[in-house]
Amino acid sequence: MYISSQVGGKIYTFGSYRLGVHNRNADIDALCVVPRHIHRTDYFNSFYELLKEQPEVSDLRAVEEAFVPVIKMTFDGIEIDMLFARLALKEISDDMVSVGVLNTYVLFLLSRTRAESRMFATS
C-alpha cells in the first residue's frame, strides 16, 4: 500500500513543467497537497525521512525557514522543488483539479497572500 493512500495526500506539478514549456535541464516544481490531519511538521519530518530512504532520491534538503518552505531533491536524476499545502478538508480526492476545487483554494490563498504582503509593505 502506498503512503498516499494511507494519509490522503496528492502531488501536483505546476510552473513550466505543468505548462509544457520546460527545457531539458529545468527542475520540476511540485505541490504536495494534504488534508487537515497532516501538519507541516509531518511533511518536514516523517515525509522527509521517507524520501531519504528512497534509492532514487539524492541531494535531499529541507528549507523550512525560507519564505516559501520547500523540500528540494534530485529524484532519478531530475531536480524537484516540492512545496507543502495543507487544506481544511478531510481528504484530498482525485478529482479536485478537474472540478476546480484545488484551483479555488489556490486562488484564495494567493489573494490572501497578496493582501498580507500589501499590508506589510505599507506598514
- When comparing pLDDT for 79 and 112, which is higher? 79
Q: Choose the weakest-confidence range: 2-6, 16-20, 66-70.
A: 2-6
Contact yes or no for 39/86 (Cβ under 8 A): yes
Q: Which of 4-13, 37-46, 90-99 has maximum average pLDDT?
A: 37-46
- When comparing pLDDT for 82 and 6, which is higher? 82
- Kindly report whether the global pTM for this prediction surpasses the value 0.85: no
pLDDT higher than threshold 60 for residue 118: no
In what order do the strands lie in the sheet containing 28-34?
10-14, 28-34, 78-86, 70-75, 57-63
Query: pLDDT averaged over the chain?
Result: 76
- When comparing pLDDT for 105 and 78, which is higher? 78
Q: Which residues pair with 10 in a beta bridge?
A: 33
Calpha distance 17→26 (Å, rounded): 8
Give 37-87 pLDDT, tens digit per residue.
998 899 999 999 999 999 999 999 999 988 888 999 999 999 999 999 888
pLDDT higher than threshold 60 for residue 100: no
Calpha distance 52→76 (Å, rounded): 13
